[in-house]
């Protein structure tokens, strides 16, 4: 049986300073995450601005994440893209570095057929011994991977799960029904975490965990312990923050939040840029109301 990954899995940001990867800030973020109860570090995902990093930078970020975690929690590396050969290259580099698993996004922009998706993932799976987690996020990729395609892929030994960010609970239920109990389904939207857990999922790959790691971990732990009331309470507490993370395109708002918290410098890679003044004000108000900041800017 494949090794289980579960709980609050932070899709951690990639901090920059003067245009370069800020390794010291990244290490400090990982220490904070682990101390706060985060179960898994996910490096170089969408929230990690992987699409703006060079291959060399992605490899360096993954390497630092593994070294910083020091085996205390698993490290999953985002190695996907819209080019199968490049995804294989990044996956094999991640395997060489020693990651625990890889997260491979549905190819974006070129809109493959369902058969094309199957062949893409099958080819990547054949190139590595690493566990692979599929990543379905139609709002960004322009195509939805259907439950039938996921079920086909689930038959491949080292394809062990999916980050499901379609927002369709019917689709989540169909995947769980068709893929068997060992197939791991992660919520790809923070607002869907509790519903996905209720359907039989194993956790969330989270944006909000970047700024509220303890609460995101506690939600999962409460669910595991059968404390539904606490899980519901935390879910409701997180609701406004979850929504605020998407006032503008992710990861703009979460990086701005971390900058206001003093965790990183506010810096993005083009074509991402600083949020509008109204967005800054809205986010600051939400964070202050939820006790993350003690002032409103």
What are the structure tokens assigned to 16, written together?
């920059």
Q: Are 42 and 12 within 8 A, CB to CB?
A: yes
Tell me how far apart the alpha carbons of residues 28 and 64 are, in angstroms, rounded to a whole number. 11
> Exactly one of 163, 220, 255, 256 is catalytic; which is it?
163
Catalytic residue list contains 163? yes
Cα Rg of the chain (Å, integer): 18
Alpha carbon distance 134, 131 (integer Å): 10
Asked about 135 being catalytic, the answer comes back as: yes
Active-site annotation holder among 121, 135, 220, 256:
135
Can you tell me the distance from the alpha carbon of 257 to that of 66, in angstroms, rounded to the nearest whole number?
A: 25
Residues known to be catalytic: 135, 163
């Amino acid at each position: 049986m494949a090794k289980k990954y579960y709980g609050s899995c932070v899709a951690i940001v990639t901090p920059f300073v003067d245009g370069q990867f800020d390794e010291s800030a990244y290490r400090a973020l990982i220490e904070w995450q682990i101390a706060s109860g985060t179960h898994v570090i996910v490096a170089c995902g969408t929230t990690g601005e992987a699409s703006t990093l060079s291959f060399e930078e992605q490899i360096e970020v993954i390497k630092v994440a593994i070294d910083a975690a020091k085996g205390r929690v698993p490290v999953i590396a985002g190695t996907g893209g819209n080019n199968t050969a490049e995804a294989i290259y990044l996956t094999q580099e991640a395997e060489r570095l020693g990651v625990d698993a890889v997260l491979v996004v549905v190819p974006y922009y070129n809109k493959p057929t369902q058969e094309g998706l199957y062949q893409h993932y099958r080819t990547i799976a054949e190139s590595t011994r690493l566990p692979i987690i599929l990543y379905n996020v139609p709002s960004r990729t322009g195509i939805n991977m259907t439950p039938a395609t996921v079920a086909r892929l689930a038959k491949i030994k080292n394809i062990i799960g999916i980050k499901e960010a379609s927002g369709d609970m019917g689709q989540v239920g169909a995947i769980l029904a068709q893929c068997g109990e060992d197939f791991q389904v992660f919520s790809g939207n923070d607002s869907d975490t509790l519903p996905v857990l209720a359907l039989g999922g194993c956790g969330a790959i989270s944006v909000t965990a970047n700024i509220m790691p303890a609460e995101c971990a506690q939600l999962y732990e409460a669910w595991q312990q059968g404390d539904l009331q606490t899980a519901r309470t935390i879910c409701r507490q997180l609701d406004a923050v979850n929504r605020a993370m998407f006032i503008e395109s992710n990861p703009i708002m979460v990086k701005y939040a971390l900058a206001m918290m003093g965790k990183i410098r506010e810096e993005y890679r083009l074509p991402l840029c600083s949020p509008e003044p109204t967005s800054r004000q809205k986010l600051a108000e939400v964070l202050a109301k939820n006790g993350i900041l003690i002032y409103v800017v």
